[in-house]
Amino acid sequence: MDQSKRMKELIEVLNRASKAYYQENTEIMSNFEYDALYDELVLMEKETGIVMASSPTIHVGYELLTELPKEAHASPMLSLDKTKSAADLRSWLSGREGLLSWKLDGLTIVLTYRNGQLEKAVTRGNGEMGEVITPNARTFVNVPLRISFQGELVLRGEAVIPYSVFNRINHEIEDVDAKYKNPRNLCSGSVRQLNSEVTAARSVHFYAFNLVSAQGMDFASREKQFLWLMEQGFDVVEYVKVSPDTIEAEVQKFAERISDMDVPSDGLVLTYEDIAYGNSLGRTAKFPRDSIAFKWADETAVTHLQYVEWSASRTGLINPVAVFDPVSLEGTTVSRASVHNLSIVESLALGEGDEITVYKANMIIPQIAENLTRSASLQIPERCPVCGGLTEVRVVNEAKSLYCTNPACTAKKIKSLALFVSRDAMNIDGLSEATLEKLVAAGMLHRFADLYHLDAYREQIVAMEGMGEKSYEKLIASIEKSRNTTISRVIYSLGMEGVGPATAKLICSHFDQEPEKIAGAQEEELVSIEGIGPVTAAAVAAYFALESNREGYEAILSEVKLEKEQIAAESAIAGKIFVITGSLNHYANRNALKAEIERLGGKVTGSVTSKTSYLINNDTTSSSSKNKKAAQLQVPILSEEDFLALIES
């Protein structure tokens, strides 16, 4: 194949995979495969002397997609060159001393202190432009808000969530689909929250790895920088001083500890101890020359794929899991590995009986590295393994996945029931997804209204594992309490596409909270409601057009007593659409402001569009993306004081 053509193919595949991983938290290929393709591209660029403008070897990242304020870094934050050979590290030292430390797997953050106080925190972003997350950084478990040093201090470090915290959070999430894939994804979402309360609940830790500048201070060595940062109260990455004679033995010591590490790590970093020497080396277009990353040379084993197990989830997503002949890796026996989605199944060209190589990503998570046979004979199931319904392939964030299309699928039924009993819907305590699954399996639940007749199964429920007499009594009491409700809660509980709590209130208010009018609404009338789009209108009309849905709706209404909702339809903001951004002063948090807007008949959405009535931002003159969008669309920007004046008018 023509080298130039092959390079373009590699660039397209690598950029797509990188975008999916970093921006969309989706994997379309394994890390092993990505590294192999990346190394192939680097080699071809060296051989040909050609480097494309879009090559990932010279581009650090992608444009950010969040709504957080953005800020340019004073100097670009470059990636590190890498190797998987400890001998390469010894050669790289060129007879000098260095510091060897963990390469933590989280989100890189730049902290700035002035007058002894934390003034600003910015994410790495794309290396040139980051996101300002100062309120969130102030909630990190171990970040000092005040330090003794009074000059300007700028340092870089890694925000991480320990495995112990990650496992605890995932354990509390009963919905398999909602569980986080790894600590890095959880950390990224936690650090970049718009609500710092969420960040605070996630136990994010920060470990400094680089002192960028400290006003009036002069350091000759990296270790002295680390020791000084520790004096200021910072936790720094664990490190050891090395020489060419000790580097390989120290790498081995780190390797022996990786499986017991509570803090996620994907390798090591080696930096010259002599700062002046390291700085004198300068940088390439992509890498600084004073540091190099070491990635573990994954231990691989050859085995044979027995079959792929198709694991159905509660949302209809069907996940492929590879089952292979047991092999020993990193001291443990493994026989299963998630393949994540159909895109990876296709890229590996899997087939039963194929000879494959497997490894543990970061020495922990079993993965398929290569398929040596590449028979591509694996049959994608046409039927759901749970209900036998037809399946279909859908493309989500550029990754192909398999879904069950049967609306009556048991897995989907559990998810629907879980929404029905949730706090913003019918608010029935004591019914986790695991409990609902047991009730469905026992034949006690077929439709929503059946929840109001569970007292007919008292003995069976009391005898269920995890229930008992007290749990049963609490459950029945909660069910009885839920009978007094509002029509907007009922409408939300049905789980129609695009209908959240606020949208349900808009629909109910428009039809004077009359159940029959709502169920009989035509698509044309629904779309005429301010704040209701064509997709939602079509979904609502289609839902009630189905006779079984209408019957189920009427069955619910026969079990409950509807209370008139106090919606201030005559308020100044009735029917208006708001977007909230930035920090708040008058209201405790965004949820409190959102509740006030909805009480007065308004609606809150997440992004500024041509339908937005007002953007609420106390910093009305900021250059945030939402402010810019509002100005472009001529959407008024209100401070909290402006909003209060508006609702009092």
Using a cut of 0.85, tell me whether the model's pTM lies above it. no
As a whole number of angstroms, the distance between CA 176 and CA 360 comes to 22
Instruction: Name every residue whose Cβ is closer than 8 Å to that of residue 479 and which is 6 or more positions away in sequence.
Output: 428, 451, 452, 454
As a whole number of angstroms, the distance between CA 232 and CA 154 comes to 13
**Percent of the chain whose pLDDT exceeds 90:** 40
Instruction: Name every residue whose Cβ is closer than 8 Å to that of residue 341 and which is 6 or more positions away in sequence.
Output: 26, 27, 28, 319, 320, 399, 400, 401
Instruction: Name every residue whose Cβ is closer than 8 Å to that of residue 61 and which is 6 or more positions away in sequence.
Output: 18, 22, 124, 125, 126, 127
DSSP 49: -
As a whole number of angstroms, the distance between CA 121 and CA 133 comes to 6
- At residue 459, the 3 state secondary structure works out as helix
**φ/ψ of residue 73, rounded to 5:** -75, 150
Average pLDDT of the residues of the chain: 86
At 189-216, the pLDDT tens digits run: 888 877 787 788 888 999 999 999 999 9
| 302 close to 91: Cβ distance less than 8 angstroms | no
Instruction: Name every residue whose Cβ is closer than 8 Å to that of residue 645 and which is 6 or more positions away in sequence.
Output: none
At 254-310, the pLDDT tens digits run: 988 887 788 989 899 999 999 999 999 988 777 889 999 998 777 789 999 999 999
pLDDT at res. 22: 58
Q: How many CB atoms lie within 10 A of CB 321?
A: 14
As a whole number of angstroms, the distance between CA 122 and CA 126 comes to 11
Residue written as token pair 């039924």: 413
Give the H or E element holding residue 322: strand 317-329
| 489 close to 565: Cβ distance less than 8 angstroms | no
pLDDT at res. 567: 54
Helices 183-191 and 163-171, packing angle to 10 deg: 90
Instruction: Name every residue whose Cβ is closer than 8 Å to that of residue 346 and which is 6 or more positions away in sequence.
Output: 376, 400
DSSP 338: E
Band (pLDDT 50/70/90 cuts) for residue 60 is: very low
Q: Partners of 396 in the beta sheet?
A: 399
At 341-364, the pLDDT tens digits run: 899 999 999 999 999 999 887 566
Query: Which of 47-56, 67-76, 300-309 is predicted with the least confidence, judged by mean pLDDT?
Result: 47-56
More confident position, 159 or 329: 159
Length of the chain: 649
| 399 close to 341: Cβ distance less than 8 angstroms | yes
Catalytic residues: 103
pLDDT at res. 273: 96
**Percent of the chain whose pLDDT exceeds 70:** 92
Average pLDDT over residues 48-64: 63
Q: Is the pLDDT of residue 569 over 50?
A: no
More confident position, 73 or 358: 358
Distance set, CA 622 to CA 34, 579, 608, 611 (Å): 39, 15, 15, 22
End-to-end CA distance of the chain: 72
**φ/ψ of residue 389, rounded to 5:** -70, 165
Q: Is the pLDDT of residue 62 over 50?
A: no
pLDDT at res. 61: 42
